[in-house]
Structure 1
Amino acid sequence: MALNKNIKLFSGRTVNTKASEEYVHVIFSYPDSNTKWDGWVPVQYRRTGVAIVDGDTEALENHLNSVYEQINPVNYPEWKKEQDKLWSSSRSVETKDIFYVLNDGKWHCRNCDISNPNFARRIQDLKEMGYTIATHVNYKCPVCGNSRSTNLQLLPIKRVELAGNGYETWSPALRKRIIKVLGGVDVYEDTSATHCLPDHKFSEIRWDDDTKAENPDTMTDMEIKAKFQLLSNQRNQQKREVCRNCFQTGKRGTIFGIPYFYEGGPEWDENIPKKGKEAEKGCIGCPWYDIETWRKKVINKLQEEE
């Protein structure tokens, strides 16, 4: 299918390295309503499963044609009605407020339009709900004059349900059981903690459509120990950044600056795929992948050298 003649596609891609997202700049023209939509369409956006490699012209054109139809102004009232229904029962007031700033499909400056000190968390919440949001970092706003603002654009297109956005979920009962099976121990600090989060050892940034699996309440203790570890929210966010950097640069992470890897070295093994189930092999040996095992390996190494 050829690219719709009413789509103007600009050359090149814009990369948001912090979120590992890529966008193409387009202008959609709608002759029937004499309107235009000028924006960025994500072409690498793991939360909704969009992963169009640079050079795949057919996949890109099909994707843009689909987004073009969804953003057509004639579809906006129905899309808005569906979102209003969704948010009418939401208790997340701060996230809801930000959604209603962004829901017109236009660009919005973080400094001018979003007065929330934790806006990044709220944007992440929206993304995890399945919304598609383009992010222009280090944006110089002509209104407020801030040269390092963030410009955000929520695309009024179909929301991808949580079950399909690349993330796994678990029931409240299983979450409690994971914490119990793992002893309620913050694996980074190696101490008991009251506020720990189940963390996937295998980072989601390397998942593909075939990686996600169910987490039934009947998971065995062995399965839980193999798949999860417990981290504080702070360390969980730190690990996300380490894994993102590794994914983008091939530089594996360290803890406390200690360059020790019980398997592999400081560079990602290029013989291992970057994404998918097989990619997990490349994570083994990294301190962040299994902190408890890494700590034990370090202790054993020190004892051998005494």
Structure 2
Amino acid sequence: MPEAIAEEVKEVEDLTSENVTIKQKRELLKASEVYLDVRFVYPDEGEVWDGSVPVYYRRTGVFEETSEGMADVIEQAYDNMHPSKREQWEQEQRKFWEDFSGNVTDEFFYVIMDGEWHCGHEFPDNNNPSRRIQDIKEKGYTLSSKRMQCEECDRSKMHRQIVRFPRGGPTGYETMSDELRERIIRVLGRYDVFENTTRQQGLLPDHKFPEIRWDETVREDNPDDMPEEEIEEKFQLLDNQRNQQKREVCRNCFQTGERGTPYGINFFYEGDEEWPEDVPEQGPEAEQGCVGCGWYDLQKWRAELNKRLQEP
């Protein structure tokens, strides 16, 4: 571990309780997530929990970069992972998942519910296991990821673990009900903005303003009776493949400052391929840096491109 990171880890550990050990700070570049690998000791129960606690995790609104902020998240995790709270938490989650029984994702959740590390081979057979994990995250759960050696698979594989924060995480994540999700699809006319066609199945509401650029001030409630004007302003519809593709494009933009080009067409109706220097990288003001990029609003981007092509 680099000396500067080791000093940072020691500083965070000094701010936490004596029953917390921080092993290392770890960054998952692909997802732009930062974890602290920890060991929690619960002496009265004679139990130990080895896990990873996200301290920079856009999905649940955790963006801690100071030692004090990271220590606070660790202490919250220590409290939530306390063995005395396990039974009630599991009962609450089983009740929540009753509404989703039989949709396959619930079977994945029950595997991971115990808070231990699980290799991919432990989950049910499924033709899209990544989507199932994504579904769990979209319901507000905090999942940690770590590549580790699996003794049964006899090779290094990605493992996942749930941290028993409340759904939505320590600071709350913008979630939506299944009813609202279907209503958004109806309001937007089942229009696939990437394919420029309507379709009856396979569409997902996509936030035009990508989540990787959110901070805690961006998140808000998504009521089932959200006005149609707000739906049209905030969302567009993509299939799962394009939704994942947009995530990768926006992640690359966040990490490199290079804005995306749908279909490989280097056209921006505002700005150019570089993230504007006068626009912050995260927070509500960051949305202005997305305007003009095709991935931000594919329907408007297509209309502006066609308008440009028709100019003499």
TM-score range, shorter chain: 0.7 to 0.9
Q: TM-score, normalised by structure 2?
A: 0.83
Report the CA distance between 1:281 and its aligned residue.
0.5
Q: Which residue number in structure 2 is paired with residue 212 of structure 1? A: 219
Q: Which amino acid aligns with 2:72?
A: N
Which residues of 2 match residues 126-145 of structure 1 at below 5 A?
Answer: 126-137=136-147, 139-145=148-154
Report the CA distance between 1:87 and its aligned residue.
2.9
Which residues of 2 match residues 75-90 of structure 1 at below 5 A?
Answer: 75-90=85-100
Q: TM-score, normalised by structure 1?
A: 0.84
Q: Which residue number in structure 2 is paired with residue 25 of structure 1? A: 37
Q: Which residue number in structure 2 is paired with residue 275 of structure 1? A: 282
Report the CA distance between 1:76 and its aligned residue.
1.6
Q: 1:7 is matched with which residue: 3, 11, 20?
A: 20
Q: Which residue number in structure 2 is paired with residue 42 of structure 1? A: 54
Partner SS for 1:10: strand
Q: Which residue number in structure 1 is paired with residue 294 of structure 2? A: 287
Which residues of 2 match residues 114-153 of structure 1 at below 5 A?
Answer: 114-137=124-147, 139-147=148-156, 149-153=157-161
Q: Which residue number in structure 1 is paired with residue 5 of structure 2? A: none
Partner SS for 1:18: helix
Q: Aligned partners of 2:206, 2:141: CA distance in 1, in Å?
A: 23
Partner SS for 2:15: coil
Report the CA distance between 1:30 and its aligned residue.
1.5
Which residues of 2 match residues 156-167 of structure 1 at below 5 A?
Answer: 156-160=164-168, 164-167=172-175
Question: Given that residues 193 and 237 in structure 2 are in contact (C-alpha distance below 8 angstroms), is that contact kept between their aligned partners in structure 1?
Answer: yes
Q: 2:180 is matched with which residue: 168, 171, 189?
A: 171
Report the CA distance between 1:302 and its aligned residue.
3.4
Q: Aligned partners of 2:108, 2:84: CA distance in 1, in Å?
A: 24
Residue 273 to residue 100, structure 1, CA distance change in 2 (3 Å): same
Q: Which amino acid aligns with 2:150?
A: C
Report the CA distance between 1:62 and its aligned residue.
1.8
Residue 62 to residue 201, structure 1, CA distance change in 2 (3 Å): closer
Partner SS for 1:253: coil
Give CA-to-partner distance per residue, 1:19-62, whole Å, 9 cap, x none.
33211011111221222111111111222222211xx1111112
Give CA-to-partner distance per residue, 1:71-128, whole Å, 9 cap, x none.
1222222222222333344324422222221122111111245543322111111112
Report the CA distance between 1:220 and its aligned residue.
5.1
Partner SS for 1:171: helix
Aligned Cα RMSD in Å? Answer: 2.7
Q: Which amino acid aligns with 2:23?
A: F
In structure 1, stretches of 5+ residues that fail to align are none
Give CA-to-partner distance per residue, 1:206-251, whole Å, 9 cap, x none.
2223223556747355x55443333333322322221122122222
Q: Which amino acid aligns with 2:197?
A: T
Which residues of 2 match residues 94-113 of structure 1 at below 5 A?
Answer: 94-113=104-123
Q: Aligned partners of 2:27, 2:181: CA distance in 1, in Å?
A: 36
In structure 2, stretches of 5+ residues that fail to align are 1-13
Question: Given that residues 46 and 166 in structure 1 are in contact (C-alpha distance below 8 angstroms), is that contact kept between their aligned partners in structure 2?
Answer: no
Q: Aligned partners of 1:192, 1:79: CA distance in 2, in Å?
A: 41
Q: Aligned partners of 2:94, 2:183: CA distance in 1, in Å?
A: 31
Q: Aligned partners of 2:128, 2:275: CA distance in 1, in Å?
A: 33
Q: Which amino acid aligns with 1:143?
A: E
Report the CA distance between 1:172 and its aligned residue.
6.3
Report the CA distance between 1:254 and its aligned residue.
0.7
